[in-house]
Amino acid sequence: MRRCALVLGAALLLGLAGCATVPRDPAALAAFKAANDPLEPLNRKTFAFNQGLDRYLLKPIAKAYVRIIPSAGRDGIRNVVKNLHEPIVLVNNLLQGEFKRAGTTLGRFVTNTTIGVVGVMDFAGRHGLPQQTGDFGQTLYVWGVHEGPYLVLPVMGPSNPRDGFGMGADLFTNPFLYLAPHFKYKTSLSVSEAAISGIDERARNLDTLDEIQREAVDFYASMRSLYRQNRAAELRHGGPPPTPKEESLYDDPGDAQPAGRN
């Protein structure tokens, strides 16, 4: 049922985007294409909801997390969560044909799970096995699926239909869920991992987000731009941006084949 809902939701959003009015003025059209945000009125409302949730719940929890747990402890927690995520990265590296990256990811997982004490220490990273990127949204990008319009999801934040669907798919490709002794534990394990990861990420960006919000004329637009730039680099595995070319209305930020494939 969850998979069906995700697919139907993505299809509906793409349909809504197709009905959006495209500006005729050249300057306005260029801005429209650059932002890729035909659902902006809805996105701004969702963004405002997320800001309220952050102000009254997530940020206070993140501040308490920083006060209670020392820096070394937070690093260990983050390493464990990242290690739990490595099988998903591995699966997507293989689906993308990134076999060298897949070997690095497998080596990281085995090394950190054993020598790194279930991932508390990033022993692999210190010995020449850097963390790789890999998620199903990125896999769909490599397969040629376009991102669709910019989309702000409740709680989850900036995304797009392709990456939103990818997040759902990654939940079902996490091998750890199928190692749970009973099916009822799968959801709890997935939610707990996501919650801890989200709190840790928010805690690490307390000052950065405050500074962006203070200096931004339009915080929503600033966050949209930062997200799209960061995601474009992720899609290319950190490689350089493609040579500028004329874009179609909903081109991805990096529509060329990802750089650095090996």
Taking the complete model, does pTM exceed 0.85, yes or no? Answer: no
pLDDT grade for 136, boundaries at 50, 70 and 90: very high
Please provide the DSSP assignment of 47-70 as one string. HHHHHHHIIIIIHHHHHHHHHHS-
The residue type found at 224 is: R
Question: What is the pLDDT averaged over residues 186-212?
Answer: 86
Residue 87 has pLDDT above 80, yes or no: yes
| SS3 state at 159 | strand
| pLDDT the model gives residue 249 | 47
pLDDT grade for 71, boundaries at 50, 70 and 90: very high
Tell me how many degrees the CA angle 90-227-191 measures, rounded to the nearest 5.
50
Distance CA 173, CA 171 (A): 6
CA-only gyration radius of the chain, Å: 19
Residue 191 has pLDDT above 60, yes or no: yes
Residue 103 has pLDDT above 90, yes or no: yes
Segment 8-31, tens digit of pLDDT? 444 444 444 444 566 666 676 677
pLDDT grade for 174, boundaries at 50, 70 and 90: confident
Lowest mean pLDDT among 2-6, 90-94, 161-165: 2-6
Question: What is the pLDDT averaged over residues 252-260?
Answer: 50
Query: Pick the residue with more confidence: 33 or 66?
Result: 66
Q: What percent of the chain has pLDDT over 90?
A: 63
| pLDDT the model gives residue 245 | 55
Lowest mean pLDDT among 4-13, 140-149, 253-262: 4-13
Q: What percent of the chain has pLDDT over 70?
A: 74
CA distances from 153 to 55, 78, 131, 149, 159 (A): 17, 24, 27, 12, 7
β-strand partners of 26:
none
Structure tokens belonging to residue 142: 């490599």
β-strand partners of 158:
152
Query: Pick the residue with more confidence: 22 or 48?
Result: 48
